[in-house]
Amino acid sequence: MKFCSQCGHSVSQHIPQGDSRLRYVCDHCQTIHYQNPNIVAGCVPTWGTQVLLCRRAIEPRKGFWTLPAGFMENGETVEQAAQRETREEACAEVANLSIYTLIDVPHINQVHIFYRAELLSRDFAAGEESLEVRLFDEADIPWSELAFRTVSRTLECFFADRPGQVYPVRSEAVPPLAGLIKPQQ
């Protein structure tokens, strides 16, 4: 960040009085610019025993499979964001959403939240951000072609929990891949 979004003057980094973190602070109007994690919301949409996956048409990880998910927008709940992303990426409507995984990804300043959800029909199609959309049985999940570790982890938990039909809310963190992520300053 170089300029204040309030007055346009330059900003510098320092720890404001009463704070404990390095922040961007306007040198002119003293506005503190907080930077917070982005929330990614998505679904594990099911039809019977199958799970709906989308092949990504955009970067990052174009061509890889994922659960329908994306960044939450202002003015919506996390559940609404998960439903909207499922509609946008898979042209699918879901119901009976139940929060399932909350995965912190601190090295990229994100929190990924996935809901279990039921497809309302088999009427789905690739949205603008998807190359194709398909239902998969557990045995056919393309594990080596999944786009993100949060998606892999959510599906691993889902298939482990499914035999007992008990789906606890799971909360965990994903560490950075060694050598790929620069430490934050």
Q: What is the pTM of this model?
A: 0.88
pLDDT tens-digit series, residues 53-81 = 999 999 999 999 999 999 999 999 999 99
> In 10 A of CB 73, how many CB atoms?
12
Give the number of C-alpha atoms closer than 13 A to the C-alpha of residue 37, restricted to the C-beta side. Answer: 14
Q: Domains in the chain, ordered, with CATH?
A: 1-35 (2.20.70.10), 38-172 (3.90.79.10)
8 Å CB contact between 66 and 126: no
DSSP structural state of residue 176: P
Q: How confident is the model at residue 183 (pLDDT cuts 50, 70, 90)?
A: very low
User: Has residue 51 got a pLDDT over 80?
Assistant: yes
Separation CA 58–CA 128 (nearest Å): 9
pLDDT tens-digit series, residues 119-140 = 999 999 999 999 999 999 999 9
